[in-house]
Homo-oligomer: A and B are copies of this chain.
Amino acid sequence: MSTPFDRLGPDLVTTDPDLVASYARDESALGVGSGLVGGAGPVAVVSPRSTADVAATLAIAHEHRVPVVVRGAGSGLSGAATAPDGSVVLSTRRLARVLEIDRGERLAVVQPGVVTGDLRTAVAEVGLFYPPDPGSVAFSTIGGNVATNAGGMCCVKYGVTGDFVLGLEVVLADGTITRTGRRTAKGVAGYDLTALLVGSEGTLGVITEITLRLLPAPGPARTLVATFPGLAAAGAAVAAVATAGLPLSMLEVMDRTTLDAVDRLTRMGLGEGGTPAAMLLAQCDDPAAALVLERMAVLCEAAGAVDVVSADDAAEGEALLEARRQALPALEQLGDWILDDVCVPRGRVVELLEGVERIAAAESLTIGVFGHAGDGNMHPTIVHDAADPASVAAAARAFDAITALALDLGGTITGEHGVGRLKRDWLARELDPGAMALSRALKDAVDPRGILNPGCVLPA
């Protein structure tokens, strides 16, 4: 089939149906009964080698009004890289170079296709630190992380991806190449176009270069793990830690369902003497880490912890963290899964966990919850049978109930995965009409022909 993109040449463009099909969807659960996928899909994949190639691709798309979906690793969980019928997929796989690391200015300039874990390794080799560590860090790309404003376990201390983006090179809808932001530590010249583009999920422009702020390498982290007989006790410990202002660099939680799944997968013995209702995992990379974690142990015990274990060295700390790292892999063993991503005020995490237990019971589903207790960002993971329409329907009801609960608790529908197509219809339940109209006005101003990832974030 011929497409207007053929003039970019066969090195950049493929229309091979099998290859194009393999670029059609991300890791979101959109296929699960949503009706949002299953059509003809994209018509071509373009894999540019340069910013000029991206500009040429967008100029053609603009001229012919072809939807453009940018794709990094395709590991997104919200359907932002699930491509509509008739679209072109723009892959960043060949834009994958670390262009510069400057130790004195503590910044890196990278192309969007660099795998985030590789970037972290590259800057660590010169004594610097790029904190954001989404669960997908080993395979997701920095471009995708910027497009979704990804988070991770570091956020309780270090913030999210957007907090490290100083500037961007971007190709606008009509193919115009522009730069936003700066290389300096501070700067307020004009509107914060960089912040507007971060988290815009490919709907406002195509990011072709990213200037990232880096930090000095932190000290070695110390680790503490505490288990609790009930959710309320774990919640009390989290509240006490927050109110005491302990400078933790990580504060994660797993519920009993998740712990059971991890124990089944790993045989770590988490369930000896009965699986605890919740486990907290904390790290501190502060010079006073030992003292900080001693204070945390006292607070956990006062809140009713069954068991508190501190790691004496990094290797033991890593071993303790392994349970957390296995949370999603372990839940994946139980069946098909939808990973949710709500965020509630820190003080209401327990109410969310209790609510999810009720929702799981009402729908007779297994829903494990793990997540970032320190900032209230939870990942309820709904296990179901995608081949059974009744199970799929129950999972969809549970997903909606959890998202609604998060809003009722004063939270947000997405803490770090993005709106994508999965939660597009939820956005208008979180934002008021003024903010929705403002968002739409911005989108229409920046992309008047509506070619940039239409149907993602906002309705097409």
Residues of A within 8 A of B (CB): 103-106, 127-128, 148-149, 151, 155-156, 159-160, 162-163, 170, 172, 176-180, 182-193, 195-196, 198-200, 204, 215-217, 239, 242-247, 286-288, 291, 343-347, 372, 374-377, 410-419, 423, 427, 430-435, 437-439, 441-446, 457-458
Contacts and interface: CB of A to CB of B under 8 A. Distances in A.
A160 to B, nearest CB: 6
B190 A435 contact: yes
Given A186-B155, A245-B217, A418-B188, A438 B193 contact: yes
A418 B190 CA distance: 8
Contact of A442 (B199, B430, B432, B446): B446
A172 B412 contact: no
A50 to B, nearest CB: 17
18 contacts: A104-B346, A104-B347, A148-B188, A162-B192, A178-B433, A179-B435, A182-B411, A185-B346, A185-B375, A186-B376, A186-B377, A187-B412, A188-B415, A189-B412, A189-B430, A191-B457, A192-B196, A192-B198
Contact of A446 (B288, B438, B458): B438
Contacts of A242: 104-106
Contacts of A178: 432-435, 438
A345 to B, nearest CB: 5
Contact of A187 (B243, B415, B437): B415
A23 to B, nearest CB: 24
A253 to B, nearest CB: 14
A186 B151 contact: yes
Contacts of A104: 239, 242-243, 346-347
A286 to B, nearest CB: 6
Contact of A431 (B148, B189, B412): B189
Given A178-B434, A183-B410, 15 more contacts: A104-B346, A104-B347, A105-B345, A105-B347, A128-B245, A186-B376, A186-B377, A189-B414, A189-B423, A189-B427, A189-B431, A191-B196, A191-B443, A196-B196, A441-B446
A104 B446 CA distance: 39
A332 to B, nearest CB: 24
A445 to B, nearest CB: 4
Contact of A193 (B156, B286, B288, B435): B435
A286 B189 CA distance: 31
A151 to B, nearest CB: 6
Contact of A180 (B105, B151, B435): B435
A141 to B, nearest CB: 17
A224 to B, nearest CB: 17
Contacts of A410: 183-184
A298 B346 CA distance: 42
B190 A439 contact: yes
A377 B442 contact: no
Given A177-B434, A185-B346, A186-B376, A191 B286 contact: no
Contact of A188 (B179, B246, B372, B416): B416
A244 B327 CA distance: 37
Q: Which 6 A-B pairs have the closest CB atoms?
A: A216-B245, A178-B434, A195-B195, A185-B375, A445-B445, A287-B288
